[in-house]
Amino acid sequence: MRVSIKIFIFAFLLIPIFVSLSRAQTCNDSLVYEIDMIKQNAETMLVYSTTADVKLETGETLLAFYFEGSLIKLTVDNSEKEGYMIAELFFKDGFIRHIAEEYRKDLNFCKDYYYFIDDKLICYSNENKGDYKDAELYSAAEKKWLEKVEKYLHAIQ
């Protein structure tokens, strides 16, 4: 009987630790580095790329960069509208890999970074605040950007 009580108390004390760990997202430095190298490589290839320019009905302007027929970068400019936002999206092998988003919030300019592997957000951070740790924020950001990427890809086809 005493053993089961001790196990229960021990398990009860560990629950808050496991719950907080499951909610906290942390950026894996080696994966972020790999994706940063993909971004750097794409930026190097921009000199040799071809471009396509598209204006969406929503007011966003898209500038797509292709290297040897593959999309490597997409710039989204929504700076003329009230909800200022400019984003650079980097692709490899048909998948989104990195997004750098600049936006205005409370009269300040903010910059968020998103890192993806196989359409899964693996790192979401802010230029000044670091990694966002909230699982709900990660989920919302992943959903928002995957929907936007799908819309943008459809528009440039």
Q: Which domain holds residue 132?
A: 26-156
Residue 8 lies in a domain: no
The amino acid occupying position 42 is A
Residues 6+ apart with CB under 8 A from 31: 115, 117, 122, 123
Residue 36 lies in a domain: yes
Kindly state the average pLDDT of the residues 75-83.
Answer: 82
Q: 5 or 145: which carries more pLDDT confidence?
A: 145
Residue 71 lies in a domain: yes
Average pLDDT, the chain: 83
Cβ pair 146, 154 in contact under 8 A: no
Residue 32 lies in a domain: yes
Kindly state the average pLDDT of the residues 130-134.
Answer: 70
Kindly state the average pLDDT of the residues 53-82.
Answer: 91
Task: Please report which confidence band the pLDDT of residue 8 belongs to, taking 50, 70 and 90 as the band edges.
Answer: very low
Q: How many domains is the chain built from?
A: 1
